[in-house]
């Protein structure tokens, strides 16, 4: 981990992690072998083990960290701005759009439920991500109470938990059913207490919820 790494080496390592993350996202972790990774990242077995001496497990841990970072980075601008009227709608639209284009390929659920149980190291990474995410949302709720549209009687931490659960649960249900309404509806409901949001998306593709 804390080995000497030249610029070239760091670039190669990064290429491996990003390429593997891509594969894991699209196929699922257990459908990705070292040979797939080799092919996708133009590397050799020895490179894989050079940068990740503990092999596949260590690589997947690095992928988990990478993906956790991506999730927050994607939302960073919106999360920081959470609070004022309109900011919730913007964030909600960004989240929905993100998952719409990702389809069933959720980086987190791939790791949480595929690798989490087997690898405690990954559970920790996911737990950290959820905690950070939760904190950011709760901060937004508090800002909305101070200067924004939200009533101050709400318990910010609990509201944040509800919002986060709506997203996680919505994604799970969306993955199983293919219907993004299962993400939109619960998320909108969870946000309703802060600032009512509206669905400006295309005509719903499903007849019923």
Partner DNA sequence: ACAAGGCTGGACTTCACAGTCCAGTCCGAT
Partner DNA sequence: ATCGGACTGGACTGTGAAGTCCAGCCTTGT
Catalog residues that contact DNA under the rule CB under 7 A.
Answer: 3-10, 12, 32-35, 42-47, 49-50, 55-57
Question: Can residue 209 be called a binding residue for a second copy (CB under 8 A)?
Answer: yes
- What is the distance of C-alpha 187 from the center of its chain? 15
Candidate list 27, 74, 80, 98; residue touching a second copy; CB under 8 A: 27
3-state secondary structure the chain: CCCCCCHHHHHHHHHHHHHHHHHHHHHCHHHCCHHHHHHHHCCCHHHHHHHCCCCHHHHHHHHHHHHHHHHHHHHHHHHHHCCCCCHHHHHHHHHHHHHHHHCCCCHHHHHHHHCCCCCHHHHHHHHHHHHHHHHHHHHHHHHHHHCCCCCCCCCHHHHHHHHHHHHHHHHHHHHHHCCCHHHHHHHHHHHCCCCCCCCCCCCCCCCCC
* Cβ closest to DNA, residue 34 vs residue 165: 34
Residue with tokens 């101070």: 146
User: Between residues 3 and 209, which has the closer beta carbon with respect to DNA?
Assistant: 3
**Residue 83 interacting with a second copy (CB under 8 A):** no
Is 65 or 181 the residue whose CB approaches DNA more closely?
A: 65
Site string for a second copy, 91-130 (x = CB under 8 A): -------------x----xx-xxx-xxx----x--xx--x
Shortest reach from residue 62's CB to DNA, in Å: 13
Binding mask 155-184 for a second copy (x = CB under 8 A): --xxxxxx-xxxxxxxxxx-xxxx--xxx-
In the complex, least distance from residue 180 CB atom to a second copy, rounded to whole angstroms: 12
What would the two tokens of residue 182 be?
Answer: 């299962």
- Positions in the binding site for a second copy (CB under 8 A): 27-28, 30-31, 104, 109-110, 112-114, 116-118, 123, 126-127, 130-131, 134, 157-162, 164-173, 175-178, 181-183, 185-186, 189-190, 208-209
């Amino acid at each position: 981990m804390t080995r000497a790494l030249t610029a070239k080496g760091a670039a190669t390592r990064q290429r491996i992690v990003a390429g593997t993350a891509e594969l894991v996202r699209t196929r699922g972790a257990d459908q990705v072998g070292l040979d797939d990774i080799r092919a996708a990242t133009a590397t050799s077995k020895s490179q894989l083990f050079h940068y990740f001496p503990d092999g596949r497990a260590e690589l997947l841990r690095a992928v988990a960290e990478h993906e956790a970072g991506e999730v927050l980075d994607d939302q960073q601008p919106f999360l920081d701005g959470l609070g004022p009227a309109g900011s919730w709608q913007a964030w909600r639209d960004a989240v929905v759009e993100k998952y719409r284009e990702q389809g069933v390929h959720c980086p987190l659920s791939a790791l949480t439920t595929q690798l989490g149980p087997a690898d405690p190291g990954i559970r920790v990474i996911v737990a950290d991500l959820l905690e950070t995410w939760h904190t950011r949302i709760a901060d937004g709720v508090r800002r909305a109470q101070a200067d924004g549209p939200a009533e101050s009687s709400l318990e910010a931490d609990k509201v944040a938990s509800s919002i986060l659960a709506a997203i996680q649960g919505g994604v799970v249900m969306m993955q199983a059913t293919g219907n993004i309404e299962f993400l939109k509806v619960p998320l909108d409901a969870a946000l309703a207490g802060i600032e009512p949001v509206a669905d400006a998306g295309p005509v719903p593709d499903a007849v019923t919820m």
